[in-house]
Every structure is written in C-alpha cells, then in structure tokens.
Chain A
Amino acid sequence: MAPKKVELKKEAVKMSPEPETAKEPDFDPQSIKIEFSTDQIEEFKEAFQLFDRTAENQKKILFSQCGDVMRALGQNPTNAEVLRVLGRPRPEDMDSKLVDFETFLPMLQHVAQSRDKGTYEDFVEGLRVFDKEGNGSVMGAELRHVLVTLGERMTEGEVDNLLAGQEDANGCINYEAFVKHIMAG
C-alpha cells in the first residue's frame, strides 16, 4: 500500500553527495519546525504505534526501529542519516533506548526535508553504472556482490529478498522494471 508521501519542492535531479561526515553539526530537534498537517501527524502516530513492541500504550519504539518507521512512512534516509538525527548513539543503545512520538516527529520532519532523497531517475542512473553492455540490464550476480560489499552493506538474505523473482534465466535484471517494482513496493 502506498504510504502518504510528504510534499517537497522539486529538486534538481542529481546524484546524492558523499555520506555525511563527522564535520556536520549535531542534529538539533529544537530547531525543527513541524510542517506536517494534522491528518498526516495522526497517520504517522498510527504507524508509530504499529511498531511499538514495548507495551500496550507505552507508545515508544527502540532507537533501532526509528529508521524503519521513517521508511515505512515514505522517507528513505541512509543509515548514517538516521544515526545523525538520533544524536549519534552508541551501538549498545540502539536496542535498548526508547523514543516517544513527540521526540520522533522532528526527526521525521528533518529527514523529510532532506534534499538528496533520490528520485526514480537517480535510481535508474545508479543502476546504469552496472549496465556494462548498455542494453538496459544488469547482471544479478554483480549487483549482489556490490550491495553486499559496498556502501551500507546488505546481508545475503536482504539481497535475496530484493532480487526475488527479478532475474531472468540468464541471471539478468531489466533495471527499469526493477526500479518500478521497488518503488511500488
């Protein structure tokens, strides 16, 4: 089901910059102005509560879940961006510290305002890098290797999930169709 996407100003199509370095200023929730509508906020609350595994009515999620909830709500931050809005927590905090909705909302707003979300065209361009023959398809095996070894690495299982049913008999993936499939998810 398509989640509500937050309206953004149209950005120029370009590849995302390098991942944020430590030189970036710390995330300051006080500086964020919430621009979501009441209806949107109510919907976010529902989703937030759906991920609440801690309690009946405790209405909190773990640090480690924040990224997923933002993504479920139509954003797609990198893991680095998520860690930044969480205040760069220690690894051991991720599965123990909790966030309530009031704390979560400014984080979501900030991520929603990020300029490098990556459009359909960006995504296709990204995959075109691996299109050695320029024929609209990439080798599944190569893509697998890249996703597991570079960037914010995925597991074998995650890659299997991603590529399930996408490779043809020769192990090739038509990437325009693939991108449509992922974005429709």
Chain B
Amino acid sequence: MSIRAALLIQRWYRQYAARLEMRRRCTWKIFQSIEYAGEQDQIKLYTFFGFLMDHFTPASSERNLISHIFRKNEFCHDTEWERYFCYKSIEVTDSYTGPHLTFPMTFCGVSKLVEAFKHKQQLHARYVLQLLGETWRLLRIFPNISQISAYHNKQITICGDLHGQLEDLLLIFYKNGLPSSEKPYVFNGDFVDRGKNSLEILLILFGFLLVYPNDVHLNRGNHEDHIVNLRYGFTKEVLGKYRVHGKKILKLLQKIFSWLPLATVIDNKVLIVHGGISDKTDLDAIARVDRHKYGSALTPPKPTKHAVNGSKTQTINNREACGPVEGRRRVCSLTYCSSGPAHRHDLPRRSLHNAHISSQLNWSLEKELKKRRRLAGFDQSYRELRTSDSDPESGETTETDVGEWKQIVDVLWSDPMAQNGCIPNEVRGGGCYWGPDVTEEVLGRHNLQLLIRSHECKQDGYEFCHNRRVLTIFSASNYYEVGSNRGAYIRMGPDLVPHFIQYQASRTCRELTLRQSVGWTERSALRALREQLFVHKSDLISAFQEFDPNNKGMISLRHWASATERVLNLGLPWRLLRPQHVSSTQCGMVDYQQWIRELSITEPKQEISDNSILETMYKNHSNLETIFRIIDTDHSGLISFEEFRQTWKLLSSHLQTEISDKAIADLAQSIDFNKDGVIDINEFMEAFRLVDISAHT
C-alpha cells in the first residue's frame, strides 16, 4: 500500500518539477531573445551611422551630430592627454566623507576602497582620476595576451561577466578571498553596464591591478567599449555620479578600455577570452596588433594611409576644394583627412557582415536618403553617387586593418554553436557563431587544451560545450531577474582542471522556494514581453488582418502564432506562451482585437495628437536614448530643441519612416519644452517609459 502511494506521489512530483522547468526555460528564452534583439538593434544603428559618415557632406548637420564618435582624438600625444586628465587641480574639501587614497596604491588602500563601497560611499573625483591615470599608465605596458602560470601550487581564480553587480564581486571576495600574490585572479570582461555599480567594480579591479600587476589579469569584454556604454547604462551611471568631472572620467575610461588586454593564457594550455573565437583566430596576429587603435569594436577602423589620388578623383578634389561645401553631395571622402578613402564598397565592411546583404541594403537606403535629403532641403544640388572605384593601394592598407579588427571583434563578440562551421553572428550583430570543428582546429593549431570564455548568461553560472573543450563562465547572478540564474567562478590549480563555485547574491531570492523564484522571474519576463507586443501593436494588427480577410476579428491559433513571430522576430514558443497571454480561445480561434486590448499597458498621460510617433518612440526607446547621448557632446544631460529635432530626423532616416516636423513640435510641446529651451534627457525618457499596470496590482 505504502509503495503504491509513494509511487503516485513521486510521479506527480516529477510532473510538477517538469512543468516548472518548462516555465523556467520559456522565461529564459524570453529574456535572452529580448536582450540579443537589443544588441542587434544597436549594431544596426551604428551601421547606419557609419553609412551616414561616408555619404553625407561634412557640413550636414546630421553628420555633425554624430561625427565626433568617429573623430580621431583631439590631442595626438599622450603627454597632452596626461595634462588633460590631471587630477592635481581638483581639491578635496573637508565636507568629503569618503575614503582618501594615497599613491602608490597598497593592499590596505584597496581594502579600504572595498569597505567604503560596501558602505555605499562614493570616491572623490580627484582620487578616481588619479587611480584611473595610474591604471592607464600601467595598462600601456602590458602585452595584448597575458601569459600566466599555475605552477608553484598557485590556484588561479577565473571570473566571468559582472555587469556592474557589486554584490556579486563582494560575494566572490567573501567566499574566495581578496586578490593577492598568493591568490591570482583573472577577470574575463564585461565589468560594466546594466548593473548600477559598474564604476565601483572598475575602481576595485583597477586598484588590485595596481597593487598586484602580476597576479591580477583583466580581459577586455564587448562592453568595455564607450559606444556600447552609451546604450547600456555605464555612461549614464558615471555622469550621474560625477556631474562635474564625469566627462573627463569617461574619456579616460575610453582610453583604458582600448588598452585592456585581449586574452589570457595559462601555462600555454588554457586560453581565456571574453567572447570566443572564429575560424580565422590567430593568437600570433592578435599578439601583434596595436590594440589601443580599436577604441570601439563597433566601428571598423579608418585606413591608416591615405591613398594616392587617382585621376578620376582628382577633378572632384579640385571642385570640392574650390567651392562651398554645403549642399554638395560628397562623392568620395578623399579630401577629408579624418575619414580617408571611403568607397561604395566600404559599406559591407561597416555592417560587419555579408557584403551582398549590405549592398542590397545600401541601394535602398541610398534611394531613401536621397529622397529624404531632398525633402529636408539639405541638398542644393547633388549628383549621382559614383559606383565603386576601387583604389588598389588603399584597398591593401584597409584590408590589414580590417583583418586585425576582425580578429578583435571575433574574440569579444562570438558565441559557440553546436553545428560545425563558422557563420556570422546575426543575433548579436558582431563576431560569429563557431562550431566544435573550429574549436578543435584553433585549439589544435595553438596546442591548447581548453577555451574559457564568458559573454553568455548561464542558468548555473557555467556550462561546458564542444565536448568539454569550451567552458562558459558567468559571474553575474540574478542577471535577468531575481532568481533567474546563479553566478559562478572557477578555481584552477596546476593540473588545469576547473572547479566551480556557484552562488546567488540576493538574500531575498535565497529565501524563495524554487517555484516562487520561477514565478517571480516568469512574471517579469512576461511583463517585458507584453511591452514588446504593445509597441508593435499596429504591425501585429496588420499581420493578423492578413489572415482575416472577412474581418471577423478571429484567426486560428496557427495564424496567430506565425503572425506574432513574424512581427516580433524573437524566436519564441508562442503556443506555449499563449495561455499566459490570450485569455480566450474558442475552438482554436483567437479574438485578436480583444487580445491587443488586454495587453494592459498604460500609455503616459501626455496628450499627443500623432499616435505613430508615440509608437515609434516606444519601439525605439533605446535607440532614441543612445542618439540623445551621442548628441549631448558635453555630457550635460541636456539638449536643445534644435538638437531634439535633429535626433528625430536621424532616427527617421535610420528607420526609413517619415516623421513630420509638426509631430516633433507637438512632442516637444507636450513636455513643456519651450519654457527654458532645453530638455533633460533622463526626464524625457522617463516620461515616455511604458508602465505595465499589472505590475502595481
């Protein structure tokens, strides 16, 4: 009797656990798809900027808005930079209650810093600049690839992404001990963005680096990139914490990021890089590059040499040199030192991926831009763009630079896949997907036995793949949401066998049962998904109506699922998610109008006459914010109405949609713009953030 009862309970438990597991996987997929779609979005935006840079006249206001992110550095010599970054004139007043640092940095000094941050103190700007200055000087003498050893019974600790989550770093130090000569550490990139203590993490890591330069090793991640930071929160964090000196701090960090080493190798056997590899990965090539030339992995390098002026281009130069530049479409940019030769076939390089796809994009974008510029009155006269004139000399130079750049992008952005081969990473928009055959080939070629990388969030904090030859380590716990995943770090001794320690930072989530934590994360994911559905409202309705020619308001489940996937393009299991979203189905049919109404998202209270601009804004929330921050060159957090208008023009070019001046003016008015002529970026973005009312029930 008891046995039968036990069996019954056990099988029911197993069903319960399996259903929970399925919910958890669904939730994970939602978060991950939305995250990667955001990254892809950003790459598209920067591809667009790159295109703008190549094909607009230098005087065009659009180009001016963004040209500074491509501009070569204002100062040429490091000595001039040193003067600019000098901290000495910054006074520490008596009212400052944070930690005081002395240099050279000592173990006591860094420990003090850790304690201070634990107690939520902020380091004075003077000390920040001083610490960063020392770090910059130190990093410049490091090679691209750090070589370390686990001999002499040293256990090496390897950590993955931290993403500004200070609690996780503190937890690691608590469990594992602080870095020292006896306790070497490798931090594998993505220290910043998303979390709210990115700067504190950097200061701690750099502090330990200064004290133990031979025992603390930092690898660059794809988020150690000032352009990525504009979108993912680090720029905002620094400017918020340091209103006066933030801009300087950011500039210094930009340099530091470009000087971070790209890889670490343990005993010539274990390779550690942030993203991964490609079939072209060559450590010797990586060791030789001038890594600091690549400030942002998102923008391909400009060719370093100027090409010889061919006869075809000579006349253009003359004409351009003689007359006014405004209103003239630039045919090729030989005349402009900052950009170097740029040809029509440059665009494929800019887009990071397949040439043929980009040239199609190129053509239609071309037409749109022409039309747009004509409408906007930017061009007084313009001529047809030349078809490609390849200049062999500049082509050669360019190829080497681009080859080097690709080595770096691959190492920072790639992800492993299960099938053999090596294909562009369309999901992220940069780097590639590499297969087990590539792992074997690259590891074999370099005589390595293991590749350790990070870059992807893992449920248990770590995961093997490719026959245990590739190991992903991720150290930001609760990354998507409280309870979503554990973080982990690796301890590795002379035998080079990895041992894992897992943790979860939040006290609240440790007290939740598995079911509660799955439920919590799931609710959060569904909220995020509802927002995505809401912002694509009109596209969804159009797609549904294609399947409902008689306008009955109902479509089949199958059509509902395929239309939703087509619009959102997130690769989600819509049928499984349906019960969470669609309350009513009758005989397998979905009342889609009602479904859209039931999405229960409130719009902000602003009265806007033009609905389409609102929807554009919701869909492009992040893009908009990114553009704002780029335009805000003095990092004041404020932009003028004219800059606001230019932002929208830029965005509309990128999206290839029309946004009327009247709509923009309405928008500006609705936030009381005209009172003082400037708008606070943060306030604006907050005012138009979507609020899910179910979050408040």
Contact = CB atoms under 8 A, between A and B. Distances in A.
B556 to A, nearest CB: 8
A129 B5 contact: yes
B26 interface: yes
Given A55-B417, A56-B418, A164-B513, A39 B10 contact: no
A1 B580 contact: yes
A182 B16 contact: yes
A47 B577 CA distance: 10
A185 B23 CA distance: 10
B316 to A, nearest CB: 47
A105 B334 CA distance: 64
B6 interface: yes
Nearest to A146: B6
B285 interface: no
B514 A16 contact: no
Contact of A58 (B12, B16, B419, B573): B419
Interface in B9-41: 9-23, 25-26, 29
B20 A146 contact: no
A161 interface: yes
A38 B573 CA distance: 16
B375 interface: no
Contacts of A38: 558
A156 to B, nearest CB: 13
Contacts of B20: 185
A66 B392 CA distance: 59
A31 to B, nearest CB: 24
A132 B73 CA distance: 81
Given A67-B14, A72-B19, A129 B573 contact: no
Contacts of A3: 19, 22
Contacts of A108: none
Interface residues of B, number: 42
A1 B588 CA distance: 18
Interface in A140-185: 143, 146-147, 150-154, 158, 161-162, 164-165, 182-183, 185
A130 B5 contact: yes
A16 B8 CA distance: 8
Contacts of B22: 3, 47, 50-51, 72
B7 interface: yes
Interface string A65-104: 0011111101111110000000000000000000000000
Q: For chain A, which range describes its interface: under 10, 10 to 19, 20 to 34, or 35 or more residues?
A: 35 or more
Contacts of A126: 4-6, 8-9
A147 B29 contact: no
Given A1-B580, A161-B513, A127 B5 contact: yes
Contacts of A58: 418-419
B513 to A, nearest CB: 4
B141 interface: no
B72 interface: no
B9 A147 contact: yes
Contacts of B2: 129-130, 146, 150
B510 interface: no
Instruction: Tell me whether chain B's interface is mostly helix, strand or loop, or mixed.
Output: helix
A123 interface: yes
A28 interface: no
B576 interface: yes
B15 A75 contact: yes
B5 A56 contact: no
A71 B9 contact: no
A57 B574 CA distance: 17
Interface string A115-135: 000100011011101100000
A16 B4 contact: yes
A150 B573 contact: no
Contacts of A127: 5, 9
Contact of B515 (A16, A150, A185): A185
A152 B10 contact: yes
Contacts of B12: 76, 118, 123, 182-183
Given A3-B19, A70-B18, 18 more contacts: A16-B4, A16-B7, A19-B7, A46-B574, A55-B419, A56-B419, A71-B14, A71-B17, A74-B15, A76-B11, A76-B12, A78-B11, A126-B4, A129-B1, A129-B2, A129-B5, A147-B6, A152-B7
28 contacts: A1-B579, A1-B580, A18-B4, A42-B558, A46-B573, A49-B573, A50-B26, A50-B29, A50-B576, A51-B25, A71-B17, A71-B18, A76-B11, A76-B14, A79-B14, A123-B12, A129-B2, A130-B2, A147-B10, A150-B3, A151-B3, A151-B6, A151-B7, A161-B17, A161-B515, A162-B16, A182-B12, A185-B20
Interface of B: 1-23, 25-26, 29, 417-419, 513-515, 557-558, 561, 573-576, 579-580, 588
Interface of A: 1-3, 15-16, 18-19, 38-39, 42-43, 46-47, 49-51, 54-58, 67-72, 74-79, 118, 122-123, 125-127, 129-130, 143, 146-147, 150-154, 158, 161-162, 164-165, 182-183, 185
For the complex of A and B, list the 9 residue pairs with the smallest distance between their C-beta atoms, beginning with the closest.
Answer: A55-B418, A71-B18, A151-B6, A126-B5, A46-B573, A164-B513, A185-B16, A72-B22, A76-B15
